[in-house]
Amino acid sequence: MKNAELSAIFDEIADLLEITGESAFRVNSYRKVSRTLKDLTKDVEQLAADGKLGDLDGVGKSSVEKIEAYLADGKIPAHQELLEKVPKGLPALLNIPGMGPKKVSLVWKELKVESLDDLKRVIESGELAELKGMGKKSVEQIADGIAFAEKSGDRTPMGLARPLADELVRQLREATGLKQIEVAGSLRRGCETIGDIDILCESDDGKKIVDAFCSLPRVEKILAQGDTKGSVLVQRRDGVDIQVDCRVVPAKSFGAALQYFTGSKEHNVRVREMAVKKGWKLNEWGLFDGDDKQLAGKDEAGIYKKLKLPHYPPELREDRGEFDLDKLPSLITVDDIRGDLHSHTTASDGKEDAATMAAAAAERGYEYLCITDHSRSSAIANGLSIDRMWRQIEKVKKLNESLDTLTLLVGCECDILADGKLDYPDNLLAACDFVVASVHSGMRQSRDKATKRICAAMENPNINLIGHPTTRLIGRRDAMDLDMETIVAKAAETGTALECNASWQRLDLRDVYIRMALEAGVKIGINTDAHAPAQFEQIHYGVATARRGRATAEDVINAWPLPKLRSWIKKKREG
């Protein structure tokens, strides 16, 4: 679906309009279209074919024409015209934490800043701090943002790479009729960010496949086009180019190539060393005894079996102790997930009401869904006052009585305040079925204060889960400085679960901390933090991250049947 691509373009149009000084009304109209497209559960191309684009909320005649233009030509003329109105390096400044459209416009018009280098220059010269509307603190935050962005490098988040890779695989399969075609590399291993996308195909006619690959509609530029390999640049939905490599191998080598190009490099080195010890040779073409006798290579499992190794799931192939395991864990799968315990509705900052979110969860086959709208201190997220929260509890309970196949749990995402206190009183928290406690402000506290803050929240018997514990945003905001060993120990002591937030911008906890938590006996919850039905699909990213941390269904509280989950909640509440 091209929903996300169009959403990103309309959002960038709004940014560009704001930079060039257009009216707030016009800017907000494009942002509304962007949100509508982002939250769509139906394919925008199908809506266009049915003539129903104009029925979408906020999508008028002009927006319909722009959507249709993109679906036809891959570009929106008005978008291209706006890009030509501003210096080429200006839109990239929006990716720097602390630099919104208004600040980008300000430094462009007042200080002639047209690129990242220009921005660095005015920071170093002191001109930026002297600019009206800036100040020393704002400049420090922008400088920190630049340092963080440069540290993050050119990596692509999994949530941007995976849909693109799946689309390319689908298009290539349709164009060639290939039966064996797989995504390899770090994306197959479920890494949170990747360098490029690797696609592996099985065919005896490599040139035909590579030519088809280089002719795919998404290709912006061909970097290499040979008989067995093609490399191209493809645009991500946020407008950034990413390299995609396609390799073609014969059937007898497909498994060996998939194992080799999946990596990691460190894992493969260990496997090759084991082959060498047996007097064999392992490469992307197969496992060989001598130069000619192929022992395995048609499939991955055959290679590992011949070497007397388990068939390691891709997510474990990092040489982080997998070779020392006596038995491979039965890793969590998407099919194991029985419900979502962190979701939002229009009561706070969600896009749909509770009934719509419940219907979407039921359609996924979920057994339960917990509504966890924001607490009162999250003013920017329309957090619920105490009175509104009491009414929310009654409303959700009443709605649950009308549902047949899904149990709707009432909960909240309660802010952990700077001093470790909770945003709601105990009697209100106790009235909820399930409570997520999260940090949304004061993220620059010292390591000691931040750690004690979260630990204090876990002491409360009504707190079941710490949401997105480190508060990081991949590529945009670093994690809080926390003593994770202390937090994990407190979670184990209090019977509190830690979240693996599946939103692709978060993936928080990280895989290494998930493994730390599990080794301490702490349970995790894999939740999407969904603000719209379409975001339930992001559960795939959370599961991939949890698999990298070696989580099984037994380790994940929302993979449990509801009676078991309720019993676990009750155990902490009753001490």
Same domain, yes or no: 447 and 467 = yes
Same domain, yes or no: 51 and 171 = no
| Predicted local confidence at residue 118, as pLDDT | 92
| Predicted local confidence at residue 497, as pLDDT | 98
| Predicted local confidence at residue 148, as pLDDT | 63
Same domain, yes or no: 320 and 371 = no
Nearby residues of 139 by Cβ (< 8 Å), 6 or more positions away: 123, 128, 129
Same domain, yes or no: 409 and 321 = no
> Residues 64, 54: contact at Cβ < 8 Å?
yes
| Predicted local confidence at residue 493, as pLDDT | 98
For residue 387, the domain's CATH number is 3.20.20.140
Same domain, yes or no: 514 and 476 = yes
pTM value is 0.78
The secondary structure element, H or E, covering residue 258 is helix 254-262
The CA distance from 169 to 181, in Å, is 7
Tokens found for residue 44: 């925008």
Which of 328, 345, 364 finishes a domain?
Answer: 328
Same domain, yes or no: 19 and 139 = yes
Same domain, yes or no: 225 and 322 = no
Q: For the segment 106-140, what is each residue's pLDDT rounded down to a tens digit? A: 999 999 999 999 999 999 999 999 888 888 888 88
Tokens found for residue 217: 């509609």
> Residues 160, 236: contact at Cβ < 8 Å?
yes
Domain extent for 544: 334-573
Low-confidence ranges of the chain (pLDDT < 50): none
- Residue 255 falls within a domain, yes or no? no
| Predicted local confidence at residue 153, as pLDDT | 57
Same domain, yes or no: 195 and 84 = no
| Predicted local confidence at residue 128, as pLDDT | 92
Number of domains within the chain? 4
Same domain, yes or no: 178 and 319 = no
| Predicted local confidence at residue 138, as pLDDT | 84
Same domain, yes or no: 514 and 468 = yes
- Nearest alpha carbon to residue 192 among 537, 506, 529: 506
Q: For the segment 159-193, what is each residue's pLDDT rounded down to a tens digit? A: 999 999 999 999 999 999 998 999 999 999 999 99
Same domain, yes or no: 558 and 455 = yes
Q: Map residue 291 onto helix, strand or coil.
A: coil
| Total H helices, total E strands in the chain | 23, 17
- Residue 136 falls within a domain, yes or no? yes
- Residue 485 falls within a domain, yes or no? yes
- Residue 221 falls within a domain, yes or no? yes
- Residue 73 falls within a domain, yes or no? yes
- Residue 20 falls within a domain, yes or no? yes
Which of 192, 217, 249 finishes a domain?
Answer: 249
- Nearest alpha carbon to residue 490 among 516, 508, 512, 472: 516
Which of 223, 249, 275 finishes a domain?
Answer: 249
Q: Are strands 293-296 and 497-501 parallel, antiparallel or unpaired?
A: unpaired
| Predicted local confidence at residue 95, as pLDDT | 79
The CA distance from 102 to 122, in Å, is 17
The CA distance from 295 to 274, in Å, is 14
For residue 200, the cross-strand partners are 182, 247
